Structure 1
C-alpha cells in the first residue's frame, strides 16, 4: 500500500493512548493540510512522543484513486487516507498530491 510523505508538527494530547499528533502535508495545488490522529498511525520511521523534536518526517497509508501508472512521471494523483481512517479535522480524506509525494 502506498504511503504519503508528511511531517508530524506537534504533539496534541496524551489521551487516548498512545497519544495524538498533528501531521501536515502540502497538496499539488500548494494547500497545506493537517491530519490529527494517534501517534502510532504515523510512527513508521521514529517513535513520536511529547518530547520528540518536531517536525518529524512520517508517512500515512493511502489508496491511489485511479491508475497511477497512467499519470506518468511527476503527475498529480488523487489519494485517500482512508485505510487507517485518517482525516482532516473537518472529515476530508481525499487529496490531489504530486506523485513524487508517494512512497510505493
Structure 2
C-alpha cells in the first residue's frame, strides 16, 4: 500500500493513549494540509513522543484514486487517506499530490 510522506509538527495531547500528533504535508497546488490523529497511525515504531524533536518525517497510508500530469509535466496523483480513517478536521481525506511524495 502506498504511503504519503508527511511531517509530524507537534504533539497535541496524551489522550487517548498512545497520544495525538499533528502532521502536515503540502499538496501539488502548494496548499498545506493538517491531519491530527493517533501517533501510531503515522509512526509504527514509537518514534513520536511528547519529548520528540519536531518536525519528524512520517507517513500515512493512502489509496491511489487517479493519476494525471501537472502543469510542469510532473506526475500528479489523487490519493485518499481512508485506509486508516485519517482526515482533516473538516473531513477532507482526498488530496492531489506529486508522485514523488509517495512511498510505494
TM-score normalized by the length of structure 2:
0.91
The residue matched to 2:41 in structure 1 has which SS? helix
Alignment-derived partner of residue 32 in structure 1: 32
Q: Residue 41 of structure 1: SS of its match in structure 2?
A: helix
Q: d(CA) in 1 for partners of 2:45 and 2:103?
A: 13
Gaps of 5+ in 2: none
Would you tell me which structure has more strand in proportion to its own residues? 2
SS in 2 for 1:60: strand
| RMSD across aligned positions (CA) | 1.6
Residue 47 of structure 1, CA deviation: 1.4
Q: Distance in 2 between matches of 1:34 and 1:46?
A: 20
Deviation at 1:83, TM superposition (A): 0.2
Task: Determine the C-alpha separation between the residues in 1 that align with 2:76 and 2:46.
Answer: 28
Question: Counterpart of 1:50 in 2: which secondary structure?
Answer: coil
1:23–1:34 Cα contact (<8 Å) kept: yes
Written as runs of structure 1 = structure 2, the 5 A alignment for 1:4-83 is 4-44=4-44, 47-66=47-66, 68=67, 74-83=74-83
SS at match of 1:21: strand
Where does structure 1 lack aligned partners over 5 or more consecutive residues?
A: none
Which 4+ residue blocks in structure 1 deviate beyond 4 angstroms?
Answer: none
**Cα-to-partner distance string for 1:31-52 (whole Å, 9 max, x where unaligned):** 0000000000001465100000
